[in-house]
Amino acid sequence: MKGMKIMKIQAFAASVLGALVIAGSAYADGHLMVKASDQDVSGGTVTASEIGAGANGWLVVHRTDAAMKPGPVVGHAPLKSGKNVEVAAILTEPVKKGEMLMLMLHGEAGGSKTGIFEYTLGAKEDGPVKVDGKLVMTVITAQ
């Protein structure tokens, strides 16, 4: 009798975990995104209005230009799995009016410390998230 109760509890736990994995995957597959608009960054921050993350990770702010290649990192902010709104990243160096910034979704994978941003340009630690080989990002112009 006791064994039956344990098996039922294990089956229930497995079904709950399975539902959570499916829910996370559904979010990850269809809703990974970064939304932001051109904005005033003179206060030393840049804000994404909405970010969809399939797992805990990072909003990473890269310098960019008309070539649309990610450049040096000039800010980052932590993200939780799921929908994140009004995510502000503190800029680590001045950004002038008219400069372009790439706001990109990065993961938490590959690093040695959870919750510590470890990415440097080109590294695998806490690297960019891609969907079908494309970066999950948006580009804004500093106002």
134 and 69 part of one domain: yes
Q: Is 50 exceeded by the pLDDT of residue 17?
A: no
58 and 126 part of one domain: yes
Q: Is 90 exceeded by the pLDDT of residue 42?
A: yes
Q: Mean pLDDT, to the nearest integer, of 124-136?
A: 96
Host domain of residue 8:
1-31
102 and 64 part of one domain: yes
Give the number of other Cβ atoms within 10 Å of residue 136's Cβ.
21
Q: Is 80 exceeded by the pLDDT of residue 1?
A: no
Q: CATH number for the domain including 75?
A: 2.60.40
Could you tell me which residues come within 8 angstroms of residue 17 by beta carbon, excluding any fewer than 6 positions away?
Answer: none
66 close to 56: Cβ distance less than 8 angstroms: no
74 and 4 part of one domain: no
Whole-prediction pTM value? 0.79
User: How far apart (Å, rounded) are the C-alpha atoms in residues 19 and 2?
Assistant: 26
pLDDT in tens, 131-142: 999 999 999 999
Choice among 89-93, 95-99, 112-116 with the minimum mean pLDDT: 112-116
Average model confidence (pLDDT) across the chain:
85
